[in-house]
Amino acid sequence: MDLQADRLNNPVERPGYLEFCGAHLYSVLHGASDPFARVLLAGPFASERYFSYVPRVRWARFLAARGIEVLRFDYRGVGESTGGFDRMSFTDWSEDVDFLAGWLKNRSPHLPLVLHGHELGAILASKTFASGLGDALLLWSAPANANDVLRRPLSRHAFKNMYARKSASDYIRDLEADGVLEVEGYEWSHRLWRESFTFQMPDDTEAGGRPVKVVNLEGTPASLLKGSAMGYVVSHNLDLSGLYTDNLEWMMAALPALQERQ
C-alpha cells in the first residue's frame, strides 16, 4: 500500500474553516473525483488527538484514493479550530458532529454517508447516528462513557506530576472544589467532568437496522494509537494497512450502494 501515491492521486485535499456557533471548525475535505460515498471522521478527545493524528490523515487519504470522500475536523476549542476549550462541553462537541454530518450529507444527499468515530468520537458519532443521520456507523475503541475518556489523561497528569505527591483522586477533588483543573495544557471545567459520567453511548437498538461495526483496537498494532502510558506518540511509522483494508471492505459490503459499485 503506497499512501504517498494515494495522496498524489487525489490532489483535491481542501483544508478550511466552517463557521458554527460563533466559532470556526477547522476541517479538511479529502475529495475524490466522482465519489460514491462519504465518511465523516470524528476523532479522539483533545489531549489524545496527537497520538493518532497522522494515522487518521493516512486513513482519510486511503479512503479518498478509493473513491470515498472524507471530512475530518478538530472540535471547537481544540487544535486548529477556534473557541475556548474551557468553555466547551461534550454536548457542544456532539453538536459539532451533528453539524458536520449534516454539511457533508447536503453536499450530495444521494450518496451514502458513513460516520466513523474513534475514542470520544465513537460516542459522538453514535449519538449523531442515533438521531437518524448517516447510513452506517464505524467505531474504533468505543468507550462506555466520556468519563472513561478523561481517565487516561488524568492518570498521566498524576503520574507526570508525581513530585506533587497527589493521586488522580486528589486532582478530582481539586477539580470539584476549584471548578477547574489544567491537564496537559487543557483546562477542564467542573461542568465537563460532571457531564462525562452521563455522556455515554446510546442503545444499540437506535441503529434501526443500519449497519454498525465496532472495532476493538486493543491487542492489535492499532492499540498504539492511544499513545504511550507516559503520553508520547509511540510510533511515527505505524503500519495500519491491515486495519484500513478490513474496514474499507466492511464499508463496501455494508452499504447496498457501495456493493453495486463493487
Partner 1 sequence: MKRAIETREAIAVVSSGVRLQGTYHRPARPATEEKRRVGVLFPNSGVLPRAAGGDAAVYWADWLAASGYPSFRFDLPGLGDSDRDPAAEGIDFQAHADAGGYAPWLAAIASDLVERFNLAGVIVVGHCSGAVTALFAAAATRRIAGLILLDPYFHVQQDSEVQTALNNWNKRVFRSLDGGWAARLKLREAGVKVLSGLRKIYHRLNGSRLLVRRKKLPGSANLPLIRCWNQLASAGVPMLILRSPSYAPKAGGFDYIDYLQRRSPRGSRMSLEPVEGASHAFAERQSREAVGKCTERWLQACFPIPKCSGAQDSEPQAAEFANAILGTDRNVR
The binding site for partner 1 (CB under 8 A) comprises: 1-4, 7-8, 13-19, 24, 26-29, 46-47, 49-50, 53-54, 57-58, 78-80, 82, 85, 148, 151-152, 155, 158-160, 162-163, 165, 167-169, 182, 184-187, 228-230, 233, 236-239
CB count within 10 Å of CB 78 equals 23
Long-range contacts, stretch 81-85, CB < 8 angstroms, 24+ apart = 81/17, 81/23, 81/24, 81/25, 81/26, 82/17, 82/23, 82/24, 83/22, 83/23, 83/24, 85/46, 85/186, 85/187
Supply the minimum distance, in Å, between the C-beta of residue 160 and partner 1.
Answer: 7
Residue 131 or 200: the one with the smaller Cβ distance to partner 1 is: 200
Supply the minimum distance, in Å, between the C-beta of residue 35 and partner 1.
Answer: 16
Going by C-beta distance under 8 Å and a sequence separation of 6 or more, which residues neighbour residue 63?
30, 32, 39, 70, 248
Residue 13 or 206: the one with the smaller Cβ distance to partner 1 is: 13
Residue 170 or 204: the one with the smaller Cβ distance to partner 1 is: 170
Residue 137 or 183: the one with the smaller Cβ distance to partner 1 is: 183
Supply the minimum distance, in Å, between the C-beta of residue 85 and partner 1.
Answer: 8
Residue 136 or 149: the one with the smaller Cβ distance to partner 1 is: 149
Residue 149 or 201: the one with the smaller Cβ distance to partner 1 is: 149
Supply the minimum distance, in Å, between the C-beta of residue 129 and partner 1.
Answer: 23
Q: Are 41 and 62 in contact (CB under 8 A)?
A: no
| Angle at which helices 120-130 and 146-160 cross, to 10° | 170
Burial of 31 (0-12, 13-18, 19+ CB in 10 A): middle
Nearest to 38 by CA among 9, 70, 15: 70
Supply the minimum distance, in Å, between the C-beta of residue 118 and partner 1.
Answer: 15
Q: Are 31 and 105 in contact (CB under 8 A)?
A: no
Supply the minimum distance, in Å, between the C-beta of residue 88 and partner 1.
Answer: 13
User: Which residues, listed in sequence order, are joined to residue 25 by a DSSP beta bridge?
Assistant: 18
CA dist 184 and 158 (Å) reads 11
